[in-house]
């Protein structure tokens, strides 16, 4: 029964059982490395009904053309879908789904912890202890960190994750600036009220402010700049040498969005020349980070933190089969919504479809 076959490019755990329980026949790519483009193409050409993908799989127009008339849905395990040619999907009338919301808190909190690692030099402190270089307690030696309270945090891209990040930061006594494409004014007003309420509980603090600002102002005024935009033509290299030159020399950059939002060679140069104080990156232009990446420069180790695309990487968020908790559950649910829709025109039953124009 080819119409009930599903190809899954990566094992996403027990949530897949829900598909098997509904009578779908699963082919799960067994290796940790992604399948080749040819392997995905072959699966689609064989007439599968659904394709479950991750950010590692380039799903281009050849794949959608091959699936015309047979492939009913591409269900992406992730909120970002810059690996998928959504225009080609729409042209071929194939719905694409993603998994928003369930990874919002995990990613926002990771961005906050990255910021904490940079500000208080957690990695350097642990290395000092482990390498037996901590020889004496001293008020200033061997180094001090930077306090967050009283500083300004800039959020670029105030969507789901950007808002969650701003809310988490509001507990730290910081001013918050946001640059985003479509400012949500009621959210800004509510966040200001929350910051005011916090100040009442800790009256020794000055009033913290939230403001929507332009990109140059966000970069110029912030001590910490955190990126939360999707990757698209407009945001590719949004942070280039000019943007970095517009930041304070004592400022830090945090990127949990997508690697190509930052021009890595410009960042390398900016860190080398002290244009900014430091950066923490969870995502890279090429992933995994190549062995010869200039970002591995040992001279930058004291000011550049590198992580392995771990933003959404909690057990709950990555693996829960519950569609309201985990990406795995939500991804399976999104596929079933489309596969089992009684009437494809009833879009309300398919809230996770990105290219709603296909119906
Ligand atoms: P979202 O809700 O769509 O938020 C993105 C925000 O960025 C939106 O408010 C959007 O404005 C704004 N934006 C788009 N283009 C912009 C531009 N040129 N300048 C300024 N703002 C712009 O998405 P999300 O759920 O927060 O996720 C954001 C991204 O995080 C994802 O696309 C993904 O790439 C990344 N992510 C990474 C990890 C990780 O593990 N590191 C995990 C999850 C997500 P509009 O409202 O006008 O569109």
The pLDDT of residue 348: 78
Measured in Å, residue 228 CA sits from the centre of ligand 1 at 5
Q: Measured between alpha carbons, how far is 138 from 222 in angstroms, rounded to an integer?
A: 30
Q: Tell me which residues have their CB closer than 6 angstroms to ligand 1.
A: 79-80, 100, 103, 107, 156-162, 179-182, 228-231, 234-235, 256-258, 282-283, 309, 311-312
Domain range spanning residue 201? 104-306
Confidence of residue 327 (pLDDT cuts 50, 70, 90): very high
Confidence of residue 349 (pLDDT cuts 50, 70, 90): confident
Range from 122-131, 132-141, 345-354 carrying the lowest mean pLDDT: 345-354
The pLDDT of residue 205: 80
Size of the chain in residues: 359
Is the same domain home to 118 and 247?
A: yes
271 pLDDT more than 60 = yes
Is the same domain home to 73 and 168?
A: no
Is the same domain home to 85 and 147?
A: no
Is the same domain home to 204 and 125?
A: yes
Is the same domain home to 155 and 285?
A: yes
204 pLDDT more than 80 = no
CATH of the domain at 353: 3.40.50.720
280: β partners: 254, 305
> Which residue is closest in CA terms to ligand 1's atom 27?
161
The pLDDT of residue 345: 61
Is the same domain home to 163 and 17?
A: no
Confidence of residue 291 (pLDDT cuts 50, 70, 90): very high
For 11-25, the DSSP string reads ---GGGHHHHHTT-E
Average pLDDT over residues 115-133: 97
What value, to the nearest 5°, has the Cα angle with vertex 351 and ends 349 and 355? 115
Is the same domain home to 174 and 237?
A: yes
Residue percentage of the chain with pLDDT more than 90: 94
Which of 234-266 are b and which e, b meaning 16 or more Cβ less than 10 Å from the residue's Cβ? ebeebbeeebbebbbeebbbbbbbbbbbbbbeb
Measured in Å, residue 162 CA sits from the centre of ligand 1 at 7
Higher pLDDT, 1 or 156: 156
Confidence of residue 216 (pLDDT cuts 50, 70, 90): very high
Of the residues 306, 326, 344, the one at which a domain ends: 306
Q: Are 295 and 269 in contact (CB under 8 A)?
A: no
Instruction: Tell me whether strands 278-281 and 252-255 are parallel, antiparallel or unpaired.
Output: parallel
Is the same domain home to 97 and 108?
A: no
Sign of CA dihedral 17, 23, 24, 27: positive
> Which residue is closest in CA terms to ligand 1's atom 25?
160
Least Cα distance to 114 among 225, 241, 258, 198 occurs for 225
Is the same domain home to 162 and 282?
A: yes
Confidence of residue 44 (pLDDT cuts 50, 70, 90): very high
Catalytic residues, which ones?
258, 287, 309
Is the same domain home to 284 and 341?
A: no
Is the same domain home to 95 and 145?
A: no
The pLDDT of residue 344: 59
Measured in Å, residue 137 CA sits from the centre of ligand 1 at 43
Q: Where are the alpha helices (DSSP H) in 202-347?
A: 215-221, 241-245, 264-272, 315-319, 327-339
Task: Please tell me the total count of domains within the chain.
Answer: 2
Residue 20, Cα to own-chain centre: how many angstroms? 30
Out of 98, 109, 157, 160, mutate this one to test ligand 1's pocket (max ligand atoms within 8 Å of CB): namely 157
Atom of ligand 1 nearest to the CA of 234: 18
203 pLDDT more than 80 = no
78-104, pLDDT tens digit by residue?
999 999 999 999 999 999 999 999 999
The pLDDT of residue 202: 85
Is the same domain home to 167 and 84?
A: no
The pLDDT of residue 342: 74
Average pLDDT over residues 136-146: 95
pTM of the model: 0.97
């Amino acid at each position: 029964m080819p119409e009930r076959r599903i190809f899954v490019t990566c094992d996403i755990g027990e949530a897949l059982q829900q598909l098997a329980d509904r009578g779908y026949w699963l082919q799960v790519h067994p290796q940790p490395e992604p399948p080749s483009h040819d392997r995905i193409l072959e699966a689609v050409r064989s007439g599968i009904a659904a394709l479950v993908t991750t950010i590692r799989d380039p799903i281009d127009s050849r794949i959608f053309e091959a699936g015309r008339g047979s492939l009913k849905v591409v269900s992406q395990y992730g909120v970002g879908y810059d690996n998928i040619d959504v225009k080609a999907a729409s042209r071929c009338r194939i719905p694409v789904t993603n998994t928003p919301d369930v990874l919002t808190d995990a990613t926002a909190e990771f961005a906050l912890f990255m910021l904490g690692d940079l500000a208080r030099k957690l990695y350097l402190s642990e290395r000092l202890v482990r390498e037996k270089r901590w020889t004496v307690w001293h008020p200033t030696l061997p180094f001090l960190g930077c306090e967050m309270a009283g500083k300004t945090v800039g959020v670029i891209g105030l969507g789901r994750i950007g808002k969650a990040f701003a809310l988490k930061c509001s507990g730290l006594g910081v001013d918050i600036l946001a640059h985003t494409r479509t400012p949500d004014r009621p959210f800004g007003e509510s966040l200001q009220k929350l910051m005011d309420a916090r100040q009442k509980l800790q009256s020794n603090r000055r009033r913290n402010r939230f403001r929507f600002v332009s990109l140059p102002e966000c970069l110029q005024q912030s001590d910490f700049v955190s990126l939360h935009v999707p990757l698209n033509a407009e945001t590719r290299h949004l942070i280039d040498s000019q943007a970095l030159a517009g930041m304070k020399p004592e400022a830090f950059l945090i990127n949990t969005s997508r690697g190509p939002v930052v021009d890595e060679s410009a960042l390398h140069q900016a860190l080398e020349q002290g244009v900014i104080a430091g950066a923490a990156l969870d995502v890279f232009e090429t992933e995994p980070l190549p062995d010869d990446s200039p970002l591995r420069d040992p001279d930058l180790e004291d000011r550049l933190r590198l992580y392995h695309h771990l933003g959404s990487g909690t057990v709950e968020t990555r693996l829960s089969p519950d569609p309201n908790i985990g990406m795995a559950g939500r991804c399976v649910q999104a596929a079933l919504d489309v596969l089992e829709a009684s009437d494809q025109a009833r879009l309300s039953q398919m809230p996770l479809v990105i290219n709603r124009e296909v119906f």
